[in-house]
Amino acid sequence: MGRLPEWITNKKRVLVDSFIELKGGKAPLKFNKHGSAKRYILRIHPDGYIQVTLPPRGNRKDALVFVEKNKIWLENQWETREQKLQERQKADRERPSIHYRGKLEPVSVISADGKTHVSFADRCLPIDLRRMNLKQWLEHWLRYQASAELPDRVGFFARQHGFQFNHITIRDQRTRWGSCSSNRTISLNWRLIQIPPEHCDYIILHELNHLEHMNHSIHFWKSLEALCPLFRKSEAWLKVNGKYLRD
């Protein structure tokens, strides 16, 4: 499955190829050729740069012309991204919260009798803030929950629909919700624990379906619709909301 707030993801340094002057300042550009691309494509990448995808016969000169032609669109998208980041950063400063199973759960830290606990989602758990800060602890907890819950869900659907897989891995995938390898290994992004269960189930069914169809042919989509009749609703939700959970 192709292609989760900012403090959740571990940012990596990105070597950029160029910059474009937008209303809010300079924005980094990174060019990438893709064998299956049929046209030039622009995308605001979660790591904070503009990704320019070139078709096999494309070139940088034409790509820069394409970027300039779409500058107004880029400025609007970039401005929206910056506003979202500022809003989330402000919310985090005022009161931390986490996305868990599709809900934004407020987080409280309670100290009493020399002990500290963190309270959220009807839970009250001990925490040692000398070892890691609150944001690090919450990410560790979410990763643990993903490792505990997601494999069970994969097993449930595999038994229900007769899929045979070899292995499940829970990973920190930067640009994918999940994947299925040729050796029948299902890999899932730990951030799936943050989205609504019905959309998480869709990703799992999508990857299990790749055990029978290792492509995105018409047969794959027909089979997926039989497994998950409302898959287009999940696709639409992920397209709108997924990028903000990865940013």
pLDDT range class, residue 187, cuts 50, 70, 90? very high
| HSE-up (13 A, CA, CB side) for residue 135 | 11
Burial 101-134 (b: 16+ CB within 10 A, else e): eeeebebeeeeeeeeeebebeeeeeebeeeeeeb
Please, what is the average pLDDT of the chain? 86
Could you give the residue range(s) of every CATH 3.30.2010.10 domain in the chain? 148-246
Predicted confidence at residue 82, as pLDDT, reads: 81
pLDDT at 129: 79
Place of tokens 């990703």: 203
Supply the pLDDT for residue 113. Answer: 77
The CATH number for 148-246, chosen from 3.90.1010.10, 3.30.2010.10, 3.40.1440.60, 3.10.580.10, is: 3.30.2010.10
Q: Please tell me the predicted confidence (pLDDT) of residue 89.
A: 61
Work out whether the CA dihedral 24, 22, 74, 238 comes out positive or negative: negative
Residue 21: which pLDDT band, with cuts at 50, 70 and 90? confident
Is pLDDT larger for residue 111 or for residue 202?
A: 202
**b/e burial code for range 176-191 (CB count within 10 A of at least 16 → b):** ebbbbeeeeebbbbbb
The reply to whether the predicted model has a pTM over 0.85 is: no
Q: What pLDDT does 175 receive? A: 81
What is the pLDDT averaged over residues 202-206? Answer: 98
| DSSP label of 192 | G
Average pLDDT in the 166-185 region?
A: 93
